[in-house]
Structure 1
């Protein structure tokens, strides 16, 4: 036994917090779509250069957002699996004490 103690309520709170952050990122991603379709104010070269730069920046932000969402989803899934394992172990321990 490793001697590591896990506070299940803290684990549940962490899962909820990560889910909340992921939900906020999803909302930001949905509203951020407009950043990927910026158009120049005119057909002149400076407007087109700015629009291209703005689209590239918007796409980079969206990609970063997606990567963070994926990371959080993986973390949430791992924490939920850990929680299930500890809950099953606790239930087994309670059953053995009866």
Structure 2
């Protein structure tokens, strides 16, 4: 992140996950991690938000436990759910 403004400030990095071709109905994007960063004017910081297996899981009613289904997941990052700035994907087996 980089503060290109004239004043010190803060910004949030929110990480959303979406499973493409999910075998069950899932939301278009699920908030799975976030961090808030404080930046002085002109300052740049690298931000890391770690996702573990629970970021890809949901409650499986028939098994009465959380789990995930293998497949491709989109990773979407933004300042909010309406201000999305980065997008990538990962295959989970």
Structure 2 length as normaliser, TM-score? 0.23
- TM-score computed with the length of structure 1 as normaliser: 0.22
Choose between structure 1 and 2: higher helix proportion: 1
The structure whose residues are more often strand, as a share, is 2
